Amino acid sequence: MNESSVRSLKQWLTRALLYAILVILAVSYFLPFYWMFSSALKDDAQVFRVPPVWIPNPALWRNFYDAWTADIFNRYLFNTIFLYAIPLTIGVTLSSAFIAYGFARLQWPGRNALFAICIATMMVPYQVTLVPLFVNFKYLGWLNTYLPMVVPGYFGSAYYIFMLRQFYLGVPVELSDAARIDGCSEVGIFWRIMLPLIKPALAVVALFTFMYAWNEYLEPLVYLNQQELFPLALGINNLRANIGQIGNVKFAYPYLMAASTLVTLPIIIAFFFTQRTFIEGISLTGIKG
């Protein structure tokens, strides 16, 4: 066997090993989702059988309908989308883009120092500020509303400000200079030139923020105590806490898995449809430091 053949064999073995590792990792990540989905189609006897039942027989598709109607999940879905996720996504995306533009493209005294302070806030654990924030929002009368979870988003997010600033730094300065020569204001430059150019990064911020709001559990648990105001995360926890009987429906473990599957599925679908924009936005942020 000549040298080129040996080199080709080594490359083939290396690639085969790499693909084998990727397949194993993919299966390990997919397995919990499959177990959740398959458990949603079982009855209690199949769920707790040893050895485990990987393919439900029979498959009880009605579990999805029964789980969704066992509680006020339509209300939870409305709260999550229209009272929490969409308002927070709009606020975080626009405010972070505007603040990042000021840090990246405008020259003003103390800019770098204030940016350093902004980044330093990411090192403060949320648990440290949770109690003071709760007291402040209590005095404002915002408890049992979504205001404590949505309004802070309209003041920007330090992580997204940093990410968008890196993206702005990768945009040629000549574009802004040309617009200023044509008489465009800074707000016009931001709105008409910069925002269209950073659409991939904005899509990443919007997707991350929406996913955060969709899955968030701690903040609604702290600020909300009325069931009709719960988001989906607290709705699922309400099901888990009431295993047994909810209304006229006998609630069991497969119902919990069915509800969890229905709540998880939209995020998975959204990621598959937006993964190209998502990957593009992640790869382009940080081009220039």
Q: Is residue 289 part of a domain?
A: no
**Based on the domain organization, do 118 and 131 belong to the same domain?**
yes
Q: Report the helix count and the strand count for the chain, using DSSP H and E.
A: 16, 2
Summarize the confidence of residues 207-214 as an average pLDDT. 92
Q: What is the pLDDT of residue 248?
A: 46
Domains in the chain: how many in total?
Answer: 2
| Region 196-223 average pLDDT | 91
Statement to judge: residues 141 and 195 lie in one domain: yes
260 plus 225 within the same structural domain: yes
pLDDT of residue 247: 47
Q: Which CATH number do you get for residue 227?
A: 1.10.3720.10
Q: Is residue 164 part of a domain?
A: yes
Inside any domain, residue 134: yes
Same domain, 203 and 249: yes
The stretch 4-24 carries a mean pLDDT of 88
Please write the tens of the pLDDT for every residue from 124-171.
988 899 999 999 999 999 999 999 999 999 999 999 999 999 889 888
Judge if 103 and 166 occupy the same domain.
Answer: yes
Examine the domain organization and report whether 14 and 43 are in the same domain. Answer: yes
39/156 same-domain check: no
pLDDT of residue 245: 53
Given this model, what pLDDT does residue 235 score?
92
For residue 287, the model assigns a pLDDT of: 45
pLDDT bin (cut points 50, 70, 90) of residue 231 is very high
Please give the pLDDT value at position 46.
86
- Give domain status of residue 93, yes or no: yes
| Containing structural domain, residue 90 | 67-284
Based on the fold, state whether residues 149 and 39 are members of the same structural domain. Answer: no
| Residue-by-residue DSSP string for 129-197 | HHHHHHHHHHHHT-TTSSHHHHGGGGG--HHHHHHHHHHHHTS-HHHHHHHHHTT--HHHIIIIIIHHH
- Structure confidence at residue 282 (pLDDT): 60
Amino acid 11: pLDDT: 86
Domain assignment present for 38: yes
Instruction: Give the end of a domain, one of 30, 63, 96.
Output: 63
- Tell me whether residue 171 is in a domain: yes
Choosing from 43, 63, 83, the residue where a domain stops is 63
Question: Which pLDDT value is given to residue 272?
Answer: 79
Same domain, 15 and 98: no
pLDDT at residue number 104: 92
Q: Is the pLDDT of residue 23 over 60?
A: yes
Residues 29 and 105 in one domain: no
Same domain, 84 and 107: yes
Cα–Cα distance, 127 to 134 (Å, whole number): 11
Confidence check: pLDDT of 223 > 90: yes
Q: Please report the pLDDT score of residue 254 as a whole number.
A: 87
Q: Which helix (H) or strand (E) holds 250?
A: strand 249-251
State the average pLDDT over residues 80-94. Answer: 96
* Per-residue model confidence as pLDDT tens digits over 243-284: 655 444 455 788 889 999 999 988 888 877 777 776 666 665
Residue where a domain terminates, one of 15, 36, 63: 63
Residues 142 and 158 in one domain: yes
The whole-number average pLDDT for the span 42-55 is 85
Tell me: pLDDT of 288 over 50: no
pLDDT at residue 241 in the model: 78
Q: Which of 93, 156, 94, 154 is nearest to 122 (CA)?
A: 156
248 assigned to some structural domain: yes
